[in-house]
Amino acid sequence: MFDGISKSYDILNRIITLGIDVIWRKRVVRLLKNENPKSLLDIATGTGDLVIELATLDAEKIIGLDISPGMLEIGKQKVKKSGLDHRIEMQLGDSEALHFENNSFDAVTIAFGVRNFENLDLGLQEIFRVIKPKGSFVVLETAVPKNPFLKVFYSIYTQQIMPFVGKLFSKDRSAYQYLSDSAAVFPCGEAFNNILRKNGFIEVEDYPQTLGVSSIYFAKKP
């Protein structure tokens, strides 16, 4: 599915989020800046938007990993065009079966990918495994607003407008219907905080973004 929408993914992200997703990614990087990580892994890196932003940090190793060859190829092209191919390594891989050794990274990030895990707990356990002790995990993910009025508008937008726009630009309404449906059922806020704690993370915080339509989660490995 992601291979099929890879060429239109970036422009659709900008349209659907009105460009605000760019700001959210910058906030992810700002949270990590205080941690001063030297090794970074961006999971479900897709077309590379977040991993390119991570290159603004003073890290010695930056890896972007994705299971979709189509998305990864777009990401590689963007990394090269940005002149960052000497700093960022783009790799094909499964986030639920990471090929890295234990305690490999100071920080792991994932933007709009955790809700696509086939087995959420397994994916989080793999991430926990490859983070170094005292390392950080930052997640940017869609959320459902708590305000009842906003929740109604959000439902209309995600269930009707998003798939329609997806069909116009990518010729694949079903892919964006899936993205809408997965966003609606993903456990957000304190529910996801508790899932992170269940899988071993501590100092878990969530930061709602833009009227609660997305959230940034920050957690540490003991």
Pick 4 or 162 by higher pLDDT. Answer: 162
* Residue range of the domain that includes 120: 2-144+186-220
pLDDT tens figures, 94-132: 999 999 999 999 999 999 989 889 999 999 999 999 999
Residue 106, SS3 per DSSP: strand
Give domain status of residue 175, yes or no.
no
Torsion of CA 192, 20, 86, 79, to 10 degrees: 110
Number of domains in the chain: 1
Give domain status of residue 162, yes or no.
no
Would you place residue 184 in the very low, low, confident or very high pLDDT band (cuts 50, 70, 90)? confident
Q: What is the CATH number of the domain that holds 137?
A: 3.40.50.150
Q: Which residues contact 125 (CB under 8 A, 6 or more apart)?
A: 199, 200
Residue 34 in tokens: 């205080």
Give domain status of residue 14, yes or no.
yes
Give domain status of residue 194, yes or no.
yes
Question: Structure pTM?
Answer: 0.89
pLDDT tens figures, 166-177: 666 666 556 666
Give domain status of residue 178, yes or no.
no
Distance from C-alpha of 120 to C-alpha of 130, rounded to nearest angstrom: 16
